[in-house]
Structure 1
Amino acid sequence: MKIPSLKIDNLIAKVPVVQGGMGVGISLSSLAGAVAKNGGIGVLSGVEIGFDEPDYFSNKKEANIRALKKHIRKAKALSNGGIIGINLMTVLNDFEELVKESIKEKIDIIFSGAGLPINLPKFTKGSNTKIAPIVSSSKAAKIICKKWDKKYNVIPDAIVVEGPDAGGHLGFKKENLQDQDFSLINIIKDVLETIKPFEEKYNKPIPIIAGGGIDNGKDIGDILMAGASGVQIGTRFIATDECDASDKFKENLLQCKSEDIVIINSPVGMIGRAISNDFLDAVSSNTKRPIGCISNCLKPCIPTQAPYCIAEALINAQKGYMENGFAFAGAKAYKVDKIIPVKTLMDNLMTETKSYLDNKY
């Protein structure tokens, strides 16, 4: 069986894999460019993307915009004509500015979650940039489709559905994570039903890209058979030569065991999935104390009440200073056992998927 391409309007990815946007600084131009070059959709993370600029702490907004432009251009150059996207969370304080600058740089697609990107079409109107909200429920998908339809006369070009096994911040309550009613497959089916009226009204398909805990070809095959048009994979791309994280960050992933994957309470009021370490142990035992805000990055964060600065912790981790930071990761992170080139990973995943689907049909 031939694995179908992922079509998002006029964009066609030969490999139906979207590399998840991972911040701070885990998926930048090196990783995104390599994924796009090999037929998938490479995605930059826009979260504090200027963290490595020399004037980041004194001139944060300008540093982020400068780095955004730099990484989009570099990723496009590396991609050999492939598809480059960017993940911009709606809770970013500079969300609108980063969206506008991404469009100016002719980014192919903007993925946006961590809230409902209700006004996103206002910025992309008249451009060739596609827009894809990230949701964790059919309810959220319906709200976005209704709002965009009514206010802007558009619908999403694609929708990313993130399930409860994803890494990073999760759009679920802690008690729902093990509830089968909230499984990724069930959410996909609900979203597919929810979007039908909008697809019919606009005579346009809304491809579903599903992610969260996808580790191998069987996982991909099951997602495609459930009706999704593609998959989003984050954690497995950390363990690649081209990933923008430090070697120590990657080694931290390779060394983790199943019991090390934990649910944490983020300073921004959401739960998240991460790899446990001494830093997070100190946080959970209340031995960390508010130390101020280095970046004013997220709207929901109240620095005076936060036990630590999440931007600082993630920047430290990206650079390998794990004693002062931590790594987000998906539920199956413990299965990753070696670092390989992006091309090898994508080839392996597609070979596994084809074999699995061939046996199914």
Structure 2
Amino acid sequence: MTTTEDPTKAAAVDPGPLIRLTIADCAAKVLHSAVTLGVFGALADGPADAARTAGRTGLHHRMAVDFLDALVGLGLLERTDGRYRNSVLAQTYLVPDAPSYLGGFVELTNETLYDTWGRLTEALRSGEPQRLDPDKGGFVGDRHKDPDRMKRFLAGLDAYSDRMGAELARRVDWARHASFTDLGGARGNLAAVLVRAHPHLRATCFDLERTRPLFTEHVGRLGLGDRIDFAGGDFFTDAVPRADVVVLGHILHGFDTDRRRTLLRRVFDAVRPGGAVLVYDRMIDDDRSDPERLLSSLHMRLVSPEGSEYRVADCRAWLREAGFTDDGAQTLLGTHTLVTAHK
């Protein structure tokens, strides 16, 4: 049986949140295009009108004003008497070559999210991860065949690890420790931030052997080759390098629960007595109500055969099972959770 609902009742429910959710990707694509076109770099030295900004960035005159005004509406530009300038947010994070530049991370998300999330319905039906074919332009992280895209991928990771490293440098009592191992440390950027903030520390990045040339180039350019070492190997078959502290950032979310437990037992063996383990991810809140954390978990399921985010309480329980003593959890950067434990 069908029923006809009174249209006046439906009119009393504002559809605005539904409409905004439906077109949310439009705002993100405006940001991605602005970074790609160099809008924020073009306005870094001061305001300019639409015509001059278009000339500096290659914007077509038919699109320029609406595009720039959309950036104003999104809080990324400011407009006064027809002249545009970067907002404080954009000037801080979106001007190329600035120490706090996050444009690489913006480009990384643009290249990695849209093609895979365009296959979400297929994945929901099949349960299969949606890996993209690199021979057809798909993005596959640190195994990409295009060196230029590889560099952009790493720049995006560095943009994020700069902020995370600064936060860890401030939140953790590093005076108690002399060394740390960064699991999945890639080309050593997080380690570099930490050893610069705490000059007494020595670091080891433990990652797949194919990462070594990238590490050697990057750490050498930073002038930190005498303080950060590289160890090539597999987390599950090679010994984790011993240290006072082992850091697992964006590592556990790539595996299923059994492998997480196995890895944490291996980490326990690597941490020296009196040392600590630091685990950070976009962990799911314990009552599973934060939509951003749940979307992150869905993303991991979408792009990997085993991965997902996990509850904070689960992480703390796995650490206790591995032999660690729980030190608690805290929010990092408003988007991540850091769980710490000691041996």
**Higher Rg:** 2
Could you say whether these structures have the same fold, taking a TM-score greater than 0.5 normalized by the shorter chain as the test?
no
What TM-score do the two structures reach when normalised by structure 2?
0.29
Question: RCO (CA 8 Å, sep 6+): is it higher in 1 or 2?
Answer: 1
